[in-house]
Copies of this chain bind each other. A is one copy, B any other.
Amino acid sequence: MSFSITEENYIKAIFHLQQAEGNVSTNELAAELHTKAASVTDMLKKLKAKKLLSYEKYKGVRLSNEGKKLALAIVRKHRLWEYFLVDKLQFGWDEVHEVAEELEHISSKKLVEKLDAFLGYPKFDPHGDPIPDSHGKMAVQVQVNLIDLPVNRLAEVSGVGSQSTELLELLKHKHIGIGTRLEIKRKFSFDHSIEIKIRNQNPFTISQQLAQALFVKPV
């Protein structure tokens, strides 16, 4: 069976919204997809007919195994293309999301596999998110939010929680990127800012907002 770009976008959105527990509501989906609740209801009926999800009126929605498989295939393409754009074409990681939103709908299976091989089977995309392999498996994220890292525990920046240009600008200014090693020296409860130290640099303070936008992997 084949799916329209719109259908694929719905499946991916549901995948991202559905946590381990709980169903996804019509309004959540409408907000995520910048559309109206009535349109979502229409599409859910259609996707249910295609057996991609389970849905009952007023009860919200969950992906079926088929639906999850499709979602993982789309996420795989999205993240592989993002990796390609940053690693091979020298895009900044704040510029790739929109382009990958289009590229993720290119249908050729062979293309995905060849692209993966060309890139050297990367495990994480430029934002630190795991790339599903051809069977839909992805590396478990051991990363934690920087705000939750214990004091004096050395860790490596492994991901970002936002893909905005503004965040990238700030990170560049502070010379922080994916792979940077740092540790927390102090946490200030007044404004939840934290003092961090990078290698042989002097410690400096970063805001709560910035700390929450960074994910790290203890080393």
A interface residue numbers (CB < 8 A to B):
85, 88-91, 95, 98-99, 102-103, 106-108, 110-111, 114-115, 118
Contact = CB atoms under 8 A, between A and B. Distances in A.
A102 B108 contact: yes
Contacts of A90: 114
Number of this chain's copies in the assembly equals 2
A98 B106 CA distance: 11
Contacts of A108: 98-99, 102
A86 to B, nearest CB: 11
A66 B106 CA distance: 27
Contacts of A99: 106, 108, 110-111
A114 B102 contact: no
A85 B111 CA distance: 8
A108 B102 CA distance: 9
A91 B114 contact: yes
Nearest to A103: B106
Contact of A106 (B95, B102, B114): B102
Given A99-B111, A111-B99, A118 B106 contact: no
Nearest to A102: B106
Nearest to A90: B114
Contacts of A110: 91, 95, 99
A112 B95 CA distance: 14
A90 B115 CA distance: 10
Contacts of A98: 108
Contacts of A91: 110, 114
